[in-house]
């Protein structure tokens, strides 16, 4: 049950001690808040970090909506490590988080939020 999503930029200290801004997706699933950060690496490549867990209250919360999570399958041309949440009523993709092109020289972070695909938003 998905009940909140925030897309924010936050400043964190890197492993080298530098302060850097990161794009962050925070989402509440079954009452637990998860966060994933975009690691911009060297500016040409980017990665989605591992999920962290907190009890943080999100700025944008909504009535809990059923979603179905599945790993995005690899294709002939691209390996990936992404999870996709779909609304079972609209069958539309609501949220995708992860890294594409994981076996390539240029991987890229994926953070996509599509609230228009939630059943609760149909007709609005």
Q: Which residues neighbour 85 within 8 Å (Cβ) at sequence distance 6 or greater?
A: 2, 67, 68, 69, 93, 94, 95, 96
To the question of pTM greater than 0.95 for the whole model, the response is no
* pLDDT in the model for residue 117: 97
Q: Domain spans of the chain?
A: 2-121
The pLDDT tens digits for 54-85 are 888 999 999 999 999 999 999 999 999 999 99
* pLDDT in the model for residue 21: 84
* pLDDT in the model for residue 14: 66
34 contacts 52 by C-beta, under 8 angstroms: yes
The series of mean pLDDT values per 10 residues for the chain, 124 residues long, is 95 76 93 92 83 91 97 94 97 97 93 96 88
């Amino acid at each position: 049950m998905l009940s909140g999503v925030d897309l924010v930029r936050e400043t964190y200290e890197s492993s080298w001690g530098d302060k850097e801004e990161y794009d962050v997706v925070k989402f509440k699933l079954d009452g637990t808040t998860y966060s994933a950060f975009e690691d911009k690496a060297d500016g040409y490549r980017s990665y989605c970090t591992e999920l962290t867990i907190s009890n943080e209250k999100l700025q944008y919360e909504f009535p809990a909506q059923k979603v179905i999570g599945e790993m995005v399958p690899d294709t002939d041309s691209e390996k990936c490590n992404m999870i996709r949440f779909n609304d079972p009523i609209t069958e539309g993709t609501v949220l995708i988080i992860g890294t594409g092109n994981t076996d390539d020289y240029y991987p890229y972070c994926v953070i996509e939020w599509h609230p228009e695909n939630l059943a609760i938003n149909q007709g609005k």
